[in-house]
A and B are shown apart, each in its own frame.
Chain A
Amino acid sequence: MARAGGITNAVNVGIAVQADWENREFISHISLNVRRLFDFLVQFEATTKSKLASLNEKLDVLERRLELLEVQVGNASANPSLFAT
């Protein structure tokens, strides 16, 4: 009877160990994927910032050019005799 109890204990321990390994594998898998997600987010942030910066620069240049054109057109319209010629 003592031998039968020892065997059952060993089997229980084996089952417990296997379950523990499965749990550890799951946890590592989840951690790895979360890290990938984090890396993606960091890269996306950098890309988006650069795009926004270039867009902002283009808008500034465009604004200045428009201001210059407005001034030139204003000067031209202020002298109607030139248009008449």
Chain B
Amino acid sequence: MTFDEVSMEHGKSFIFALQELKNLRPQLYSAADYCEKSYLNSDKKPMVLDNMKDYVVRALVNAVDHLGTVAYKLSDILEKQTFDVSTMDLKVSTLNQRLLTWHMYTDKEGLRQQQLLAFIPRHHKHYILPNPVNKKVHFIPHRKIGARQNSFQTRTRLHSSGTPISKTLSWHLASETKSTLKKQTSRTSKNTKDSKFYKKISGVFHLLDSEGSTRMKTSAAQPHLTNGVPTSGAATQTMGATGRDALKHSKPLTTYGSFDDRNGREAVQVHTRSKSVLSSFFVKQTAAKLKAGSVL
């Protein structure tokens, strides 16, 4: 109530001052007319002039005073109104801040509720690829069978399995199974020793096979050279050649003899090789005899 009363009083005073200023205008006009008439009609003009001057000065001062009062009051009212508007602006800002805080709180509560309700399932790694698991299960007996069979077959299988992309994935899974198998074997010492022994034997077997194949090739190449010699040659040349053949043939016999102690299969192979060598020797001797008779 006090604030409103004060503002109303200020408003009223401003209106009153403005009204006085408005009323001053006709007074000035009437004074001007009176002075003009008195100066024209009077005989004592200097005296009338002096009086008129004084009156004009006072009238102007009064007018300026009224103008100043009105201007001051108007400025005062504007300042108060501006202050009120600023205060109201601050209050509105406060309300806006409160409302924003409320919105933030409601958003956080909503998110919290959604987080509590939502359930995100977690899948294990082995569930992601169901097909390789089936291949993995099927691939294990193939590897076991491959280990028992010859190495050549295992090599072909590896080559065949390497080409497609899906098989490469299965190969990786099989390698994982191998690693698991190795870990299982590492637990027991006996199994590891046996596996190492078998690996060594298989390695030796490979070496023996390779050496045998090379020697067979060399022995097969020599008869061609003997056959290539012309029959018109001297007897000394033929005798020298036969001696060389005997020396060469003696070496594999000694090497084959050492294998008999290890394995029965290798002994069987050695016997077969020795028979063939002996038969070739006899054939060569008969040929040499025939050649010697023809020379004579």
Contact = CB atoms under 8 A, between A and B. Distances in A.
A59 B60 contact: no
A41 B67 contact: yes
A21 interface: no
Which of A19, A23, A51, A73: most chain B CB closer than 10 A? A51
Nearest to B63: A37
Chain A interface mostly: helix
A24 interface: no
A7 to B, nearest CB: 22
B85 A69 contact: no
B92 A62 contact: yes
A72 B56 CA distance: 64
Contacts of A28: none
Given A82-B106, A85-B109, A69 B96 contact: yes
B16 interface: no
B71 A58 contact: no
A44 B266 CA distance: 129
B15 to A, nearest CB: 16
Contacts of B56: 30
Contact of A72 (B85, B88, B99): B99
A55 interface: yes
Given A55-B85, A82-B106, A85-B109, A48 B95 contact: no
Interface residues of A, number: 27
B181 interface: no
B60 A30 contact: yes
Nearest to B99: A72
A48 B99 contact: no
B253 interface: no
Nearest to A27: B53
B20 interface: no
Contacts of A30: 56-57, 60
A55 B106 contact: no
Interface string A43-85: 0100010011011001101100110010011001000001001
A44 B67 CA distance: 11
A59 B88 CA distance: 10
Interface stretch (B32-40, B74-82, B211-219, B225-233): B74-82
B67 A37 contact: yes
B286 to A, nearest CB: 115
B89 interface: yes
A40 B92 CA distance: 38
A80 to B, nearest CB: 13
B268 interface: no
A40 B67 CA distance: 10
A13 interface: no
Interface of A: 19, 23, 26, 30, 33-34, 37, 40-41, 44, 48, 51-52, 54-55, 58-59, 61-62, 65-66, 69, 72-73, 76, 82, 85
17 contacts: A23-B49, A30-B56, A33-B60, A48-B74, A48-B75, A48-B78, A55-B78, A55-B85, A59-B85, A62-B85, A62-B89, A66-B92, A69-B95, A69-B96, A72-B99, A73-B99, A85-B109
Interface of B: 46, 49, 53, 56-57, 60, 64, 67, 71, 74-75, 78, 81-82, 85-86, 88-89, 92, 95-96, 99, 102, 106, 109
